[in-house]
Amino acid sequence: MAHVPASERRPQLVQAALDLMTREGVAAGSTRAIAAELGVAQATVHYTFGTKKDLYRAVVEQLSSEAIGQVRAASPGDGTFGEQVHTLVYALWEATNGEEGRCVLLSEFAALAMRDPDVREIMLGLQREIEGTATEMLTALAAAHGLTLAMPAREIAVHFLSGFDGLTARQLALRGADDRSGTETLRALDLLVATTVGLCLGTPAVRPEPGWHGAAGTA
């Protein structure tokens, strides 16, 4: 194979590792298997990523970049503050749960972090990045509507993400069980949007009607 600059080889290897781990799990992502996925020598993986921690970090950063980029690219539309929060939350849901295997892969890394200090450090960085991004986007959205948030944006972001993570775990546990399970999860997601908007505005959350997939809040 012709020589490829390191600046080009690195993203190729990250994508190969991501594709392989998505299909077969984190444990399957050995340097030998990743090299075979891309069709390069195993030494190339070792040369590009000095340690497994470096490789894991690159994969997690790629996952994070894809999800955050998808949310930032989503247009919140011209609706109310609540409607726009709803749109962005569903963009995050699609980014996290829409592509088969991605949320499973992140869950595997989170589980591995409980035993592996190196992975724990990586996942801690990811958590801080996601919380910081959510805080930033919520603050900007409120400013665009001329709103003063009733609580600190970071506290609201942490509250929302805690509920969102729980619903993602539920989605994983019940995926493929029956249609009712998926409907209940989305219903709970709508309720999470409503309570989050209520915290932002300092007003009681209005319980969304069954089958509701529209606005949350009226500000």
What is the percent of the chain where pLDDT is above 70? 88
Number of domains in the chain: 1
pLDDT band at 217 (very low <50, low <70, confident <90, very high): very low
Q: What is the CATH number of the domain that holds 107?
A: 1.10.357
User: What distance in Å separates the CA atoms of residue 116 and residue 128, rounded to the nearest whole number?
Assistant: 18
183 lies in some domain: yes
109 lies in some domain: yes
- What's at 49, amino acid-wise? F
193 lies in some domain: yes
Taking the model in full, what pTM does it have? Answer: 0.84
14 lies in some domain: no
118 lies in some domain: yes
> How confident is the prediction for the chain on average, in pLDDT?
87
Say which residues have a Cβ less than 8 Å from residue 118's Cβ, sequence separation at least 6.
Answer: 52, 53, 56
CA distances from 65 to 35, 50, 94 (A): 23, 22, 14
* Structure confidence at residue 219 (pLDDT): 47
Domain that holds residue 170: 76-201
What the block records as the tokens of 45 is 């993986």
What the block records as the tokens of 89 is 């939350």
Q: How many CB atoms lie within 10 A of CB 31?
A: 18
161 lies in some domain: yes
* Structure confidence at residue 13 (pLDDT): 94
